Amino acid sequence: MTAPLMLGDHAVRPPVVLAPMAGITNVAFRRLCREQGGGVYVCEMITTRALVERIPKTLKMITFAEDEGFRSLQLYGVDPDVTAAAVRMVGEDNLADHIDLNFGCPVPKVTRRGGGSALPWRRRLFGRIVSQAVAAAKPFGIPLTIKMRKGIDDDHLTYVDAGLAAQEAGVAAVALHARTAEQRYSGKADWDAIATLKQALDVPVLGNGDIWEGSDALRMVEHTGCDGVVVGRGCLGRPWLFADLEAAFTRGAAYQPVLPTLGEVSKILARHAQLLVEALEDEKHGCADFRKHVAWYLKGFPVGGDLRRSLAMISSLAELDDLLAKLDPSIPFPADALGQPRGRVNAPGRVTLPHGWLDSRDDETVPEGAETDESGG
């Protein structure tokens, strides 16, 4: 059994984190994943300004189930004061037990303004955001972590500097999505960079990027020495990956993945839709939100185009049940879908930055208009 990941005083067993994914990791999806195995299950990203302004939609997104023992919340901010105010609010209103700060978003709308993955380049501003956030979290005993990318591109890497600055500021751990912003989600994550960061830091390092199976998590730990893994796209349409990860960390290389038949997958599909309807308190909205998951669940299964399309257009749970009844429950899990990328795999693209952004690393001006609901990491 691998050592637990320590986030402050909290021991995470197995050392697995569900990556925050906008539009995905809401209370319904987290429950589905939590039922499979241990770990930390991070809520969808919340922008600090919307939080301090108490925008109702934002507050609603911070919904945790009663049995979520370690409520984990990701915040995104570019202003040290607003970020600290948001962290204080999380503590005062008892909204979460852990806060992660997102510095990984590669979306052009965000980097163009100097936010997301562009921000660590401005090292003083980055340091101020993190240290003010840590200070604001401290009185409440909330461990604060950061999640970042390697840098803007291969010529503008920031992860070691940013990791050291975050450590000095007092973070509980640092997570690295081992791609540059330029790479977006393309190519392979550079696990060597995770190893480099692990060598450079004393605080726990979390590795992120391209864990598709339990065996990948073991390989990442072996390769990098990281203290825990962050899993994003690999669990899209596959919440049982968390059972695999738990088995892998408990039994080591001897573990065997348990692969569901199409009948078992369709039960999980139905439950996911039901949980979304409950979470959104509306059958139509729940079903609409569910549609994006269908293709991920069915990836690799021999299911005809018409049925796939109909499933991806459901507007009621009864309709979903009727369609699921048409699937052959005995079909085994498609082995060729294993170890394959899923979810976003878009092409690399030059990172759009504010004019003159790269010329000064020490400018502390807070970028304007860089806080939007666009997210990614």
Ligand X SMILES: Cc1cc2nc3c(=O)[nH]c(=O)nc-3n(C[C@H](O)[C@H](O)[C@H](O)COP(=O)(O)O)c2cc1C
| Catalytic residue numbers, as ranges | 105
The nearest distance, CB 330 to ligand X, in angstroms, is 31
User: Using CB under 6 A, which of 5, 12, 43, 45 touches ligand X?
Assistant: 45
User: What is the Cα Rg of the chain in Å?
Assistant: 20
With respect to ligand X, which residue has the nearer C-beta, 119 or 211? 211
The nearest distance, CB 10 to ligand X, in angstroms, is 20
Residue type, 154: D
Cβ contact 47:66 at 8 Å: no
Window 314 to 373, contacts with ligand X (CB under 6 A): 343-344
In this structure, are strands 46-47 and 72-76 parallel, antiparallel, or unpaired? parallel
Cβ contact 296:236 at 8 Å: yes
The nearest distance, CB 341 to ligand X, in angstroms, is 8
Distance CA 44, CA 61 (A): 7
Site string for ligand X, 134-173 (x = CB under 6 A): -------------x--------------------------
Distance CA 128, CA 103 (A): 13
User: Using CB under 6 A, which of 5, 7, 16, 22 touches ligand X?
Assistant: 22
Q: Is 147 assigned a ligand-binding role in the annotation?
A: yes
Q: Is 233 assigned a ligand-binding role in the annotation?
A: yes
Number of residues that bind ligand X (CB under 6 A): 25
The nearest distance, CB 232 to ligand X, in angstroms, is 3
Q: In whole angstroms, how far apart are CA 358 and each of 52, 225, 377?
A: 30, 32, 20
Window 225 to 244, contacts with ligand X (CB under 6 A): 231-234
The DSSP string of 176-198 is EEEEETTTTT-S---HHHHHHHH
User: Using CB under 6 A, which of 31, 156, 177, 293 touches ligand X?
Assistant: 177
Distance CA 115, CA 67 (A): 34
Give residue for tokens 């920031």. 158
| Binding residue numbers for FMN | 20-22, 74, 147, 177, 232-233
The residue ranges that bind ligand X (CB under 6 A) are 19-24, 45, 74, 102, 104, 147, 177, 208-211, 231-234, 343-344, 375-377
